[in-house]
Amino acid sequence: MTENKRGKLLIVGFGPGSEQHMTARAKEAILESDSIIGYNTYIDLIRPLLTNQEIVRTGMTEEVSRAQEAVKQAESGKVVAVISSGDAGVYGMAGLVYEVLIEKGWKEETGVAVEIIPGISAINSCAALLGAPIMHDACTISLSDHLTPWELIKRRVEAAAQADFVIALYNPRSGRRTKQIVETQQILLQYRSPKTPVGLVKSAYRERQVVIMTDLESMLEHEIGMLTTVIIGNNSTFMYDGKIITPRGYQRKYTLAAEEQPLKPHQRLKEEAEPWAMHQGQAEQEIQKTTSVLELAEEALEKVVGKSEVAATAVQEKRVSFQQTAVFEFAVSPGIVSKKLSPKQMLTLVETVGEEATIEYTPDHQLKVSVETNDPNGITEKLRAEGLLLLPIGDVVTIKACDFCDGEKADSIPQAEELQQLIGGDSVPKQLHIGFNGCGMACYGAPMNDIGLIYRKKAFDLFIGAKITGRNAHVGQLVAEGVAPDKIVELVVSIVNDYKKRGLPNERFHKFFKRVQIVEGFTYKEVPDQVVVDAVCGD
């Protein structure tokens, strides 16, 4: 055979079905081919792209003869496109074509040319329609026992279920093959919560597309057929606003759950919310075998190679238990007024969070604690009982009060405490510092905060919009003097509420003030006023 007569096999994955989701190379390949071989439905899907290619239509189960025919035609010098939906290498024609070629002693150098053209497989197209269910380790399992023994498929389902893979089930069910999906659900229920999110996508990116969000226990109540892909979440997968989302990692960070700061669904670490993932109770801890990832992998492998048959009841006992280590972060201080940690409090802190925790001293007169735990409440209870003040961290309101000269200048303490109670720890667009100083000396630097308060002459001076960091750091603008004690808390709360309402995500308070120009009647000035600070400690 001379070089220019050498035929070519183009093994094309044309994606889910719509032309938009087909690669440019797949379209080109269809155009450059002399003949096209594929299952009837597939030919119909690419019909708009056809010019004058010869069409070889075959039925569903004639894959081997399709591959043989393609090789025969290529050997006669033709350019032949063999088409598969999705990706041709995923339960498609690519492997079969190679098998036929290999049987004939084909070698790349001397035989017909072969090009495999990748396409978007159903796991990806269907995932996109569901949200972001894949994200983490995932696998595909075809439930078709046409070419694979059912016993082996079952073992794979079990291994994947046990190892907490997100699973995409291809060929879940056909007119004749109906029991496989039922048995699969039963196996999965031994390892995952009945509430595990499940997505059913039929005919993704085709005319009769149907997307259904359900869960493991109810999935069989919906139509599942030959054109459906079933995506089953792992133990961290959650449903949010009609989307299925699997977080990127198992290690989760969360801070104190103030009422004003509802945790996102996947951050809910309460046992009621995730009974299968977190067994905190004593009794449950006894039953639960906390299985290491390595042990799980070994067990899964054992199942695949068939070393042991595990009785269904034994499996039941092992139901889940990925202890999802979560990092709990919070701030601790001796209180809004007190700046002194007693040795007893220090001891309790260390004993409660343990030696593995990180304790960081922050510029906000707080100790920031990071600790791996699945029992945040146990920790907070012990620390609070010792008189420590616990606060959330992140983009929240932090009240930084002075020590009121060790309590000697105590007149304004009630306002500081009230502010802490009303808005301390509240979520805001970006971390917000409120500096609160009990006399004109302002030795804790109140005006150098987003909002600064100085108690002086039985009333308050109010500063807003300091730029706390950077080379062009500056104090806040003095916007009011002599605000009465019974008005100040309300005023500060209104300013913070306005910032909560109109501030953009991540917008620092001074930028917000500059952008909106007027906050609670106070007008932004480009150059902050020169502030004359009283030199004498007192009022």
Contacting residues toward ligand SAH, per CB under 6 A: 16-17, 84-87, 90-92, 121-122, 126, 170-171, 201-206, 226-229
Least gap, CB of 87 to ligand SAH (angstroms): 4
Pick 121 or 380: Cβ nearer ligand SAH? 121
Pick 61 or 506: Cβ nearer ligand SAH? 61
Closest residue to ligand SAH, based on beta-carbon distance: 86
Least gap, CB of 103 to ligand SAH (angstroms): 22
Q: Which residue, chain included where needed, has tokens 């919560």? A: 193
| Alpha helices for 306-396 (secondary structure H) | 312-318, 343-353, 376-385
Least gap, CB of 39 to ligand SAH (angstroms): 10
Pick 200 or 257: Cβ nearer ligand SAH? 200
Tell me if residue 273 falls in helix, strand or coil: coil
Pick 206 or 319: Cβ nearer ligand SAH? 206
Least gap, CB of 242 to ligand SAH (angstroms): 18
Query: Do the beta carbons of residue 332 and residue 371 sit within 8 Å?
Result: no
- Please report, for residues 200, 201, 207, the alpha-carbon distance to residue 224 in angstroms, rounded to integers and kept in the order given: 7, 9, 17
Pick 210 or 315: Cβ nearer ligand SAH? 210
Pick 141 or 439: Cβ nearer ligand SAH? 141
Nearest alpha carbon to residue 439 among 463, 415, 459, 414: 459
CA distance 514 to 523: 9
Least gap, CB of 425 to ligand SAH (angstroms): 46
Instruction: Evaluate the CA torsion angle 366, 369, 375, 381 in order and state its sign.
Output: negative
Pairing of strands 166-170, 138-142: parallel
Pick 171 or 185: Cβ nearer ligand SAH? 171
Pick 90 or 475: Cβ nearer ligand SAH? 90
Least gap, CB of 86 to ligand SAH (angstroms): 2
HSE of 83 in the Cβ direction (CA atoms, 13 Å)? 33
Least gap, CB of 78 to ligand SAH (angstroms): 24
Pick 178 or 251: Cβ nearer ligand SAH? 178
CA distance 452 to 3: 83
Least gap, CB of 135 to ligand SAH (angstroms): 19
Least gap, CB of 88 to ligand SAH (angstroms): 6
Q: Quick one: three-class SS letters along 212-253?
A: EEEECCCHHHCCCCCCEEEEECCCCCEEECCEEECCCCCCEE
Q: Per the structure block, which two tokens stand in for 204?
A: 């993704």
CA distance 399 to 336: 7
* Burial class, 312, CB count within 10 angstroms (exposed 0-12 / middle 13-18 / buried 19+): exposed
Pick 226 or 346: Cβ nearer ligand SAH? 226
Least gap, CB of 73 to ligand SAH (angstroms): 22
Instruction: Quote the DSSP letter at residue 474.
Output: B
Could you tell me how far CA 371 lies from the centroid of its own chain?
21
- Please report, for residues 217, 219, 435, the alpha-carbon distance to residue 223 in angstroms, rounded to integers and kept in the order given: 14, 9, 60
